[in-house]
Structures are given as structure tokens and as C-alpha cells.
């Protein structure tokens, strides 16, 4: 398994797999297979995949630590970028298909509807994370500042979940919200437990 994660073809394969949800949604739109309201299905489908990739990206470090598979670390940055990618497509689809790219109307809608404001805020927080997901950005910012900036993802997660909750509240459908809440809650608790875990002192030298 570990050697497979380091194989030069594995990362491109994972990249292509991450594009499959988009390919399926585009195909569904072109083939008219997204139901009675294809615009809404496309917007929500892209948002759903942004949330799913957020869960996957946040799971990389706990899985890497608990399974002692350091090779997983090479996929974390790419998966994080796919969170921003699908979230950006979700926003573009909303702005285009729902609002006709009317910037003034989009601004009013964001301020008028709290669930859109929360989702937009989560996207705004993702932007600097995506823009600094390069080795050059790490060198320019310095490791400590870069890690502090990227901890914003732990604010993005509850905001994204709240956005999803409010969106589903209109239809009184909370089953899927509960699933994501459990997953994200477990991942955030794991992060907190490691953050507050007492540091093991170095072994004395002889």
C-alpha cells in the first residue's frame, strides 16, 4: 500500500478521480439527466462535492498519523485545492445560473440570505489557502506563518456545515447534514486532542 502511494502514476490517477464528479455533473447537464431543475441540481451537486472533499482533505492527517502512513501527506495539498475548486465552481454556478451574473443582485442576495452569506464567507477563507498552496508560498511566508494561515480550514469546516444545514433546513431534510456533522466533528476533535496532547520530552542523552 505504501509503495503504491509513492508510485509516480498514483498521484495523476487520484487527480483524475477527483475530476470524475465534475465530469458526471457536466454529463448530466448536457444529457438532461439532472431532474426537473437541472440548474439547482448542478449548483447543489458542486456544493456537495466541495463539502465531501473538505472531509477527505481534513481526514488525510489523522489517517496518516493513526495508520502510520506518511506517504499520504503528498496528497493533502492536492485534495485541499480540490475543495477550493469545487467550492469556486459552486459559487460560479450560483452566480451564473441563479443570478444571471448580475453583480449588484448577487451582492444584495448575499447580504439578504444568511445561509448564502455564511457559504460566501467560507469561500473567501478558502481563497488565501488555495493561493498559498505552493512550495514558493511556504518559503515566502515561513513555515510557522504558513501553518497558522492554513489553520483557517478549521473555521471553514463549521461555516460550510452551517451553510449546508441552512440550505437543507428549507426542506426539513437533516439526515445528510447529521452525517457530515459527525464526520467533521470527529475530525476536529481529533485535531484538538493532538493539539492539547502533552509533548513527550526527548530521551536523555548519555
> What does the pLDDT look like over 152-205, one tens digit per residue?
999 999 999 999 999 888 777 788 899 999 999 999 898 888 776 766 555 554
pLDDT score of 1: 67
* pLDDT tens digit sequence for 119-161: 999 999 999 999 999 889 889 988 889 889 999 999 999 999 9
For 198, half-sphere exposure in the C-beta direction (CA atoms, 13 angstrom radius) is 3
Q: What is the pLDDT of residues 23-80, one digit of tens each?
A: 999 999 999 998 889 999 999 999 999 999 999 999 999 999 988 998 898 999 999 9
Amino acid at each position: 500500500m505504501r509503495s503504491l502511494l509513492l508510485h509516480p502514476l498514483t498521484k495523476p490517477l487520484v487527480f483524475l478521480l477527483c475530476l470524475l464528479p465534475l465530469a458526471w455533473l457536466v454529463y448530466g447537464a448536457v444529457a438532461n439527466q439532472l431532474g426537473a431543475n437541472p440548474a439547482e441540481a448542478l449548483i447543489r451537486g458542486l456544493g456537495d462535492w466541495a463539502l465531501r472533499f473538505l472531509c477527505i482533505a481534513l481526514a488525510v492527517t489523522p489517517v496518516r498519523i493513526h495508520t502510520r502512513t506518511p506517504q499520504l501527506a503528498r496528497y493533502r495539498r492536492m485534495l485541499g485545492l480540490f475543495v477550493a475548486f469545487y467550492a469556486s465552481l459552486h459559487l460560479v454556478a450560483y452566480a451564473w445560473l441563479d443570478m444571471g451574473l448580475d453583480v449588484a443582485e448577487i451582492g444584495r442576495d448575499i447580504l439578504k440570505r444568511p445561509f448564502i452569506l455564511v457559504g460566501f464567507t467560507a469561500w473567501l477563507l478558502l481563497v488565501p489557502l488555495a493561493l498559498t498552496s505552493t512550495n514558493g508560498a511556504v518559503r515566502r511566508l515561513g513555515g510557522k506563518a504558513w501553518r497558522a494561515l492554513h489553520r483557517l480550514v478549521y473555521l471553514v469546516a463549521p461555516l460550510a456545515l452551517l451553510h449546508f444545514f441552512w440550505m437543507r433546513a428549507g426542506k426539513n431534510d437533516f439526515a445528510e447534514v447529521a452525517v457530515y456533522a459527525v464526520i467533521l466533528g470527529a475530525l476536529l476533535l481529533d485535531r484538538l486532542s493532538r493539539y492539547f496532547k502533552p509533548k513527550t520530552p526527548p530521551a536523555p542523552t548519555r
